Structure 1
Amino acid sequence: MARTIAGALGAILALNGLAMLFAGLWWYAAVPGVTATGPYNPHFVRDIGAAYLVAGGALAAYAAWPREAWSGLVAAAAFLTLHAAIHVYDAVCGTHPLADVLRDLAGVYLPAALALWLAARPAAKETRHAEAAV
């Protein structure tokens, strides 16, 4: 089940990254709340799109090769968690914190939580430790 979740999440994040890289203006207008962050900056959107593409690829690699790609999973979880933390900070400092958190729940906080769960679960640690013993 964990590998299925990692694969699905990886595909979704990679598709999001590709949209940001190759259809940034469309992505900027289509994703709820993005326009409230300031004017469209194509370079910034592509930079973050690249990070999403890498995180998605790392999750997909973990789904395919869990023993070999565990460190990529951890890196993806770190990016997603830091990204979510930035959104928490912005929500707390904003004028509508609850609305901002609810808006970002599915697209920001849930992917971070899933990636953290994947990286922290006992089976992932056992896989890593089993490799170290070989």
Structure 2
Amino acid sequence: MLVAPAGWYFAVPGVTTTGPFNQHFIRDIGLIFISLGGAFLLGTVRSEHRVLFWTAPTLWLWGHALFHYWEVAVGICGPSALARDFPAVTLPAILGTLLAGWAVVDARHRRARSMMTLFIPQAK
């Protein structure tokens, strides 16, 4: 999307049916996806902020996916667009939800373990 926006526009199935080629817009979206990926990567190495780093991009991914569903609901695209777009649109939102959910559970367990060490004397 960033290096060859025209190539991306013509290579990805269904994109040409969404409107005319717009290099600026495609590069803007490419930057958004780099930011989302960066947030997920940061979450892998900064566990204390993982919930934020994985939840924020997941919210954007769901907004993007729901926009695709809205386009079908109002007749802009046919229902076949949902199946075509699923791997690149809805699946990332689902995977982000699973990661963010795991991060929330993990953060709660970490917090509970740290609280237990405050109240349970350590063996010497």
TM-score (norm 1): 0.74
Shift in Å, 1:131: 5.2
Unaligned runs of 5+ in 1: 1-19
Q: Compute the displacement of 1:91 (Å).
A: 1.8
SS in 2 for 1:22: coil
What are the residue-to-residue correspondences of 1:41-56 with 2, within 5 Å? 41-56=22-37
Pick from 98, 106, 110: which aligns with 1:127?
106
The structure in which a higher percent of residues are helix is 1
Q: CA RMSD in A?
A: 2.0
Report the residue type matching 2:35 in the other structure: V
Map 1:18-29 to 2 at 5 A: 20-29=1-10
1:63 aligned onto 2:41 = no
Q: Flag structure 2 segments of 5+ consecutive residues without an equivalent.
A: 116-124
Q: What's 2:87 paired with?
A: 106
- The separation in 1 between residues aligned to 2:111 and 2:9, in whole angstroms, is 42
Larger gyration radius, structure 1 or structure 2: 2
Distance 2:56 2:19 in 1: 28
Structure 1: distance between partners of 2:13 and 2:111? 42
Residue identity (%) = 36
Q: Following the alignment from structure 1 to structure 2, what is the Cα–Cα distance between the partners of residues 95 and 42?
A: 22
- Cα distance, 1:29 vs structure 2: 0.8
Q: Which 10-residue stretch deviates more, 59-68 or 85-94?
A: 59-68
TM-superposed CA distance for 1:126, in Å, is: 3.3
What is the rounded CA distance, in whole Å, between the counterparts of 1:66 and 1:114 in structure 2?
18
Structure 2 residue aligned with 1:37 = 18
The code of the aligned residue for 1:128 comes to A
Give the TM-score normalised by the residue count of structure 2: 0.80
In the other structure, the counterpart of 1:94 is: 75
Q: Which residue of 2 aligns with 1:10?
A: none
Q: Is the 8 A contact 1:25 1:40 kept in 2?
A: yes
* 1:38, distance to aligned residue in structure 2 (A): 0.5
Tell me how many residue pairs correspond in the alignment.
Answer: 113
Partners of 1:96 and 1:37 in 2: how far apart?
8
